[in-house]
Structure 1
Amino acid sequence: MAAPLSTWPWDFLGSYKWILYGIFLAKAMYSRYQEEAILKDTWCLHIFIICMLRLFMYQAWTSYSNMLFLTRNRLIVKKGVDFKQIDKEWNWDNFIILQAIVAAIVLYISPTFEYLPIWSGKGIITAILLHVAISEPLFYITHKCFHGNYLFTHYHSLHHSSAVPQAYTAGHATFLEHLLLTVVVGVPIICSFVIGHGSLVLVYGYVLMFDFLRCLGHSNVEIIPHRVFDVIPFLKYIIYTPTYHSLHHSEMGTNYCLFMPLFDALGNTLNKKSWKMHKKNSLDTGINNGRVPDFVFLAHVVDMSSAMHAPFVNRSVASLPYYTRIYLLPFLPISFASMLVMWAKSKTFLISFYNLRNRLHQTWAVPRFGFQYFLPFAAQGINNQIEEAILRANKLGVKVISLAALNKNEALNGGGTLFVNKHPDLKVRVVHGNTLTAAVILNEIPKNVTEVFLTGATSKLGRAIALYLCRKRVRVLMLTLSTERFRNIQKEAPVEYHKYLVQVTKYQAAQNCKAWIVGKWITPREQKFAPAGTHFHQFVVPPILQFRRDCTYGDLAAMRLPEDVEGVGSCEYTMGRGVVHACHAGGVVHSLEGWEHHEVGAIDVERIDLVWEAALKHGLKPVSSTII
């Protein structure tokens, strides 16, 4: 049974708790509509505005913390935020609702708030003095009490369960804790109004500055230079730093203060490493102190909508498989503007990382949107950016860099061959990962299948699939209009298997074949030629429309990362949690195996089974329900 006041009263509302924010706006608008607006109703509007500003404040800080291309050298805890932490902190904003409700109750029971002056200099000074004299010591004493056995076990341990502090972590606590924190926040404001020095600026300023400092301490990004404390030594007792607060999470029993380390010094709870570690972290921000990754996956943006699926835009959205969310559509103009900036800036950036068996894996992104890859005049620029990323990885000492989807387009750079030929001395291994993609597709096909219909038959993957299946004595109906390409592929197969490769030019040829492997997008009309009960295996992007109710459709080739992976907190496009595209997984396997060859150009059919077995050996698992 949960401890008293450890859960939130509106937990049962789920996502509908957002209605509680709307009540304040509705009350203010109703009063104005009825032309009966009183100052207390005006306060309801201000409460709503403050709530929205607070939500934006925490979101902005969390976004900044996750902008690894800006903060990677400033991180204090150098770990990724995983799904477990994101789910725990999902309702981090409960305390904002609580404080809004408490503020509304105080407004309607107290005559003090009838007046609404905009500014009062005396009020600002009074609030600062009350904060130092009452709020700081009150928080220090209360916080220290919550580290006692009973209170910590039943209440405060929830807050400390977050492995990587972020702005949202500041709100991740129990109902009782935030009730007491509401008192800490409210004392300076209420007392200032009681003595007649309250103002609108005081309320907005104090609440937002309180949140700003809370976000600063939990940001996990050191931004305060140590030189400030060297010039003004006493200042280090007046304002804490992200490093200072992170020590409270890593070495509990020290650094209990709200914002002022002075009270830890007076209470003899100051961690002696605080200033030394802060100086180290501050100095490290100016150099490339980040750990060199073993493996890099070079991704790209798909479209303006999916661009908002990045972890630094909204980590909650990014932690779920991508789909078009209606509430994000108003932000498309911002995404469009970002696209123009990215196009002009043209710099590869780091978007996420995770650890697998003590090997750091990072995802970099080329700042190009999907449609740009099909613009003839953009090809050279895109290849230049991919080449720049490969050379950067080579300089850093990265062992493997894997190219995603369009970054390895055959027409663009020959599946990475262009870069390997241009730079024969590369130490970093360039990998397209398609060998594992082919393996995943082939292992989806039931062992008793004797005939398949293959579209996209002369593509890189289509060729490998056809050559592999014909050796298994599976008849492959290869849809292609190019007899020359078909003959070239057929010549690669041993003579005794030539008869298993059959060129077809129309979809009608597959009217009796129930195993379709789709490598080129097909329309619903073309799907009609498949007999009832057909299963569509596919390696085409985007996936084909699931038009036939009497047929089944396979997933895009993908694999689930091993159980011991750490720091995965975002979904790869439409994939589920912990699932990556097979080409990404192929790069991971290449890195884990320590293979020294480049995997570019045509797929080596002889290595398909080898790569598949290596993937399973390292704990990667296929995700398609059709795999036998």
Structure 2
Amino acid sequence: MASKPGILTEWPWTWLGNFKYVVLAPWVVHSTYSYLVKDETQRDLSNFLIFPLLLSRFLHNQIWISVSRYRTAKGNNRIVDKSIEFEQVDRETNWDDQIIFNGLLFYLASKYIENGSHLPLWGIGGVIWTILLHAGPVEFLYYWLHRALHHHFLYSRYHSHHHSSIVTEPITCKNFYSRANVGWVNCDGITEVYIFSVVAAVIHPFAEHIAYFLLFSIPMLSTVFLKNASVASLAGYLIYIDLMNNMGHCNFELIPKWLFSMFPPLKYLMYTPSYHSLHHTQFRTNYSLFMPFYDYLYGTMDKSSDSLYENSLVRKEEAPDVVHLTHLTTPESIYHLRVGFAHLASEPHKSKWYLWLMWPLTMWSMMVTWICGRTFTAERNVFKHLKLQTWAIPKYKVQYYMQWQRESINNMIEAAILAASDKGAKVLSLGLLNQEEGLNNSGELFLRKHPQLKMKVVDGSSLAVAVVLNSIPKGTSQVVLRGQLSKIAYSIALALCQGGVQVYTMRKDEHKKLKAMLSNEAGNNLILSQYGTPKIWLVGDGLTEDEQKKAPKGTFFIPFSKFPPKRKRKDCLYNSTPAMLTPKHLENVDSCENWLPRRVMSAWRIAGILHAMEEWNVHECGNMMFSIEKIWKASLEHGFRPLTMSADPKPI
């Protein structure tokens, strides 16, 4: 929102929320119905193609978003270093409003403007006129409109919304980071301070979009009135605008230097991502739309444009200090990754009804990852001086339980460990099922194969145990231990029994295995009972619905598993899987980790950060356990905090 919102700031359909697309529905239905029922000679193909064009623009923008996020996470050719935060994502969720707005205007023009319907598919005259009118009037008028919007009166009422944050990403979060956190800007004698972070290229108040559309309509309406417009000229112009907008805000440099060497005048006719980034960081330079010619002409070109362009081109892929190795979970989890849909990634993973409509695409993506998927960089963060990256193995949860897939998965994990080591990473933490005991014995398999590995491999079990122990309400004297026994379960039972807490188990085999680990004194606190009444249940994988039904009303389920149990009781409380709140100095956080809430990180992931921060020169894999007390103390010292529970039986 602008600092002093002016008139026509809000979009007319803002009140509809997620149902805003219904404003297009009557036009789409009428266009499709008319095309299907009318005689072939009366069909208006150009009108019918408006809706497919709108869909193609959504897809075009999403592809740029995913590519941009992937490339900037890796770091090669990146222009600025920071990323966005949750506030930025929330502010820019309405990037698609301008596509809806354009669609409505196209339908109206097709219906009410003479020569606006029954357009031919191709016409060279319309294409030429569109190019000339854009290069002349549109670029010229946009330059001066843009400069006017930076006057303090219009800036404070409209354009400051676009500059409310500074780093660029295509469409959803077109953000360009400033070089400093605070910048002083003098607007016609009025000095103001702006906190710079991120900006979205198409995130503008409604009034600004009206002005922009009037500019972009000059070539379109002119060719319509000249009777040489075609589907190719109109659709091609929109594709050109989207392409240049997305390219200019993708935050990585992709225009090769040889292109300008072969055709030097091109530098005046086409901007680059680094060129446009300087407008967002320096504020008073590089105003041009897509053609820098007018900045050269009027002396507003930033002097560092060429150097930033050349430096961005040669920038190498970033070397991480800590790598967290995770994997896909459900088939639709691909959309919840940071490289997927920004608004889904910014919320805890929940099944959405509209994702079912995308099942053909979902199944296709599963087949691709199944056959030829490779580990990819999904996210990057900064924790104090440490550079963090999250790598994802393109395997789904179900594949980890397939015996014939295990060798392939272990090979991918091993390759990721060696790749991280080659890049100079200090620690690699194994997330989710990548550290499954039945798969690779919690990572010990890789240490046996590579005993000289300099990088430390961490499964995070010690911190997971510490989080569970500190989630148990103070004063608790009895707990129930349920679910499949694991390295974490044994450690929890041992710590509780030695601390004088009675641990109830319901199966003889579990009781026997746990009893063998305990001293005689501690073993007295391990109780075999089918009718345990404690209201604190520590649960792992394999907790059944029948077992949950046996729990007393008001039971507090505390998972020690990597995946949350299915909630079958509305009269009970369910805690989160082992996780902690992250401190403010964890930067570049704009996505949720699987089902966890915002700015909450799993214990297994945090453990890798702590090992690197404390420079603990030890592995934590296989049967090796790190000091529970030591790692818990370190987590608190570095700003991580335990989660709290509310009366609502959901993790918070």
After TM superposition, the score normalised by the length of structure 2 is 0.89
Alignment-derived partner of residue 283 in structure 1: 314
Q: 1:456·1:480 contact (CA, 8 Å) conserved in 2?
A: no
Q: Cα RMSD between the aligned structures?
A: 2.4
CA contact (8 A) 1:68 1:351 kept: no
State the shift of 1:233 in Å.
1.2
Instruction: State the 1:156 CA deviation.
Output: 1.2
CA–CA distance in structure 1, aligned partners of residues 370 and 341 of structure 2:
22
Equivalence for 1:162: 165
Letter in 1 for 2:557: F
Structure-1 residue corresponding to 2:441: 414
Q: Does 1:255 align with 2:276?
A: no
Provide the rounded CA distance (Å) in 2 between the counterparts of 1:70 and 1:462. 35
Deviation at 1:70, TM superposition (A): 8.8
Q: 1:576-616 deviations in whole A, cap 9, x for unaligned?
A: 111122211222222222222111123637x2122122112
Task: List alignment gaps of at least 5 residues for structure 1.
Answer: none
Secondary structure, aligned partner of 1:160: coil
The CA deviation at 1:91 is 0.2
Per the alignment, in what secondary structure is the counterpart of residue 113 of structure 1? coil
CA distance in 1 between counterparts of 2:224 and 2:408 reads 61
SS of residue paired to 1:598? coil
Q: Structure 1 residues 6, 514: closer, same or farther in 2, change over 3 A?
A: closer
- Residue by residue over 1:257-295, the C-alpha shift from the partner in whole angstroms, topping out at 9 and shown as x without a partner, is 1111111111111122222321222233xxxx1332221
Partner of 2:182: none
Whether the 8 Å contact between 1:27 and 1:44 is mirrored in structure 2 is: no
Q: Counterpart of 1:586?
A: 607
In structure 2, the CA distance between the partners of 1:28 and 1:403, relative to structure 1 (3 Å rule), is same
Residue 390 of structure 1 is matched in structure 2 by 417
Secondary structure of the structure 1 residue equivalent to 2:162: helix
Task: Answer yes or no: is 1:621 the counterpart of 2:619.
Answer: no
Shift of 1:37: 10
Distance 2:426 2:132 in 1: 56
Partner of 2:214: 183
Shift of 1:353: 0.9
Q: Give matches, 1:69-468, under 5 Å.
A: 72-168=75-171, 169-284=200-315, 289-456=316-483, 458-468=485-495
Q: SS at 1:111's partner residue?
A: coil
**Cα distance change on mapping 1:520 and 1:177 into 2, 3 Å:** closer
* Aligned-residue offset at 1:143: 0.7
Name the CA distance, whole Å, in 2 between partners of 1:86 and 1:385: 32
Farther off after superposition, 460-469 or 266-275: 266-275
CA–CA distance in structure 2, aligned partners of residues 520 and 106 of structure 1: 59
Native 8 Å contact 2:73 2:380 kept in 1: no
SS at structure 2 position matched to 1:536: strand
Q: Separation in 2 of the partners of 1:370 and 1:379?
A: 12
Aligned counterpart in structure 2 of residue 608 of structure 1, from 628, 633, 651 = 628
Q: Which moved more, 1:138-147 or 1:595-604?
A: 595-604
Deviations 1:360-401, CA, capped at 9 Å, x for gaps: 111001222212222223222222221211111111111111
C-alpha contact (below 8 Å) 2:323/2:425 kept by paired residues: yes
Structure 2 counterpart of 1:523, one-letter code: T
The alignment's TM-score, normalised by the length of structure 1, stands at 0.92
Corresponding residue of 1:28: 31
Return closer, same or farther for 1:342/1:26 CA change in 2, 3 Å cut-off: closer
**What residue ranges of structure 2 are gaps of 5+ in the alignment?**
172-199
Deviation string 1:143-169 (CA, Å, 9 cap, x unpaired) is: 111111121222112112233211212
| SS of equivalent residue, structure 1 residue 297 | strand
Question: Which amino acid letter does the alignment assign opposite residue 273 of structure 1?
Answer: S
Question: Structure 1 pair 273/123, CA: closer, same or farther in 2 (3 Å)?
Answer: same
Corresponding residue of 1:485: 513
CA distance in 2, matches of 1:521, 1:362: 31
Matched, 1:61 2:99: no
1:534 counterpart = 2:562: no
Match of residue 497, structure 1, among 515, 522, 526: 522
Give the AA of the match of 1:614: A
Contact 1:555 1:624 (8 Å CA) reproduced = no
How far off its partner does 1:180 sit?
A: 1.3
Are 2:537 and 1:516 equivalent residues in the alignment? Answer: yes
Q: Secondary structure at the match of 1:233?
A: coil
Please give the alpha-carbon distance, in whole angstroms, between the structure 1 residues aligned to 2:117 and 2:371. Answer: 53
SS in 2 for 1:625: coil
Structure 1 residue aligned with 2:178: none
Letter in 1 for 2:97: N
SS of 2:265's partner is helix
Higher share of residues assigned helix = 1
2:569 equivalent among 548, 556, 574? 548
Distance of 1:543 and 1:280 partners within structure 2: 46
Percentage of pairs with the same residue: 35
Pairing 1:469–2:490 present: no
Contact 2:466 2:629 in 1 (8 A): yes
User: Structure 1 residues 102, 380: CA separation in 2 closer, same or farther (over 3 Å shift)?
Assistant: closer
User: For residues 258 and 534 of structure 1, what CA distance do their matches in structure 2 show?
Assistant: 61
CA contact (8 A) 1:218 1:246 kept: yes
Aligned-partner residue type, residue 561 of structure 2: V
Distance 1:393 1:237 in 2: 42
Contact 2:489 2:560 in 1 (8 A): no
Letter in 1 for 2:89: I
